[in-house]
Amino acid sequence: MRPILPLLALLWLPSLQATTMTIGTGGEQGIYYQVIKEFCRLAGKSDPDLKCRLQASSGSIENLRLLQAGGLPYAIVQSDWLYQASHGTGPFSKLPQPELRALFATHAEPFTLVVRADGDISKLDQLKLAPIDMGLKHSGTRQTALALFAALGVAEQDLDLKSVANLAEALCSKQIDAYGLVMGHPNRIVLETAKRCAIHFLPIDGPVRDQLLKGVKYYQRSQVPARIYPGNLKATPTFAIAATLVTNASTTDADVYRLTKAMLSQQTSFNEQTYGYANLFHKARNKIGPVLSIKQHPGATKYFEELKTADKL
């Protein structure tokens, strides 16, 4: 009867390999939370012993602080904040995080300027004199908006910036003439606005967009996709940051490889009802390369090299 005990031990070995990986997202109603939740669902299909624990947060800045403090092993972060943290610039000049490493970019987040279809604003330079909401003072949206206005030659003090509780209500009731968001589409706030009143998007292209992208690694050409919101049948040109799944250099290659492979090997079944789906980087080759604003973790690089060898990249 003695051989039974070693056999039972072997049967229990798979459970010992079960791993839970905590990932910082954003608010539970936001796109980051939904996108990572969906990637984790797919990871569970590919690697049943791998479990994700989603940790809601206020967004990129909190995620970066938690990564630096060791409070999180993984998080999703905007590429502009990520670049600045990694290089110790902007608000991160005193606390740089050169140890940050990327796994892959999940989706583009176009800078989206929403206006009323029956309003007077049709060009970017008209925003200078109008009441507008460009996010909270220290938010990623505000930073991106100010970069755009700087390209237009407009300083922050020359803008009539508001901070409203409900963007959809404020725009449709004419409390503000425009609002800006840095988010993938479809977007819950924009959908809510479109239900209240007819909306348009202001295009950002030509010399202004070229100036924004010149020498800047964390922006890319993008668009607000067509036919997602009522009355908007054509795509609207703009620029975008890339939401990026990140970790620290100290995270083991084996763990990063396992998570990357588990998340991406099942992506053909990504839920199309997920917020941000239209701007998702569906092809593996679009998740890496120039879209990454920092170095890639070797564990993630290994997975993408395997795809390339198999002619799947």
pLDDT in tens, 149-168: 999 999 999 999 999 999 99
Mean pLDDT of 168-181: 97
Length of the chain: 313
Is the CB of residue 229 less than 8 Å from the CB of residue 91?
no
pLDDT in tens, 49-87: 999 999 999 889 899 999 999 999 999 999 999 999 999
Q: Report pLDDT for 176.
A: 98
* Residue 141 binned pLDDT confidence (cut-offs 50, 70, 90): confident
* Residue 14 binned pLDDT confidence (cut-offs 50, 70, 90): very low
Mean pLDDT of 39-47: 94
- Alpha-carbon distance of 160 to 298, in angstroms, equals 46
- Coil/strand/helix, residue 285: helix
- Alpha-carbon distance of 89 to 14, in angstroms, equals 45
* Residue 17 binned pLDDT confidence (cut-offs 50, 70, 90): low
Residue keyed to tokens 């009802």:
273
pLDDT in tens, 242-255: 999 999 999 999 99
* In 176-246, alpha helices (H): 188-196, 206-213
- Alpha-carbon distance of 225 to 200, in angstroms, equals 12
Residue 1 predicted with pLDDT over 50: no
Mean pLDDT of 91-102: 95
Element (H or E) spanning 221, and its range?
Answer: strand 220-224
pLDDT in tens, 286-306: 999 999 999 999 999 999 999
Mean pLDDT of 127-147: 89
What secondary structure letter does DSSP report for 296?
B
What secondary structure letter does DSSP report for 114?
E
CA distances 204 to 19, 112, 122, 167, Å, are 44, 9, 11, 21
Mean pLDDT of 33-37: 94
Residue 228 predicted with pLDDT over 90: yes
pLDDT in tens, 269-283: 788 878 889 999 999
Residue 267 predicted with pLDDT over 90: no
What secondary structure letter does DSSP report for 113?
E
| pTM beyond 0.95, yes or no | no
Residue 13 predicted with pLDDT over 50: no
Task: Name, in order, each residue with C-beta under 8 angstroms of 196's C-beta and a sequence gap of 6 or more.
Answer: 168, 169, 171, 172
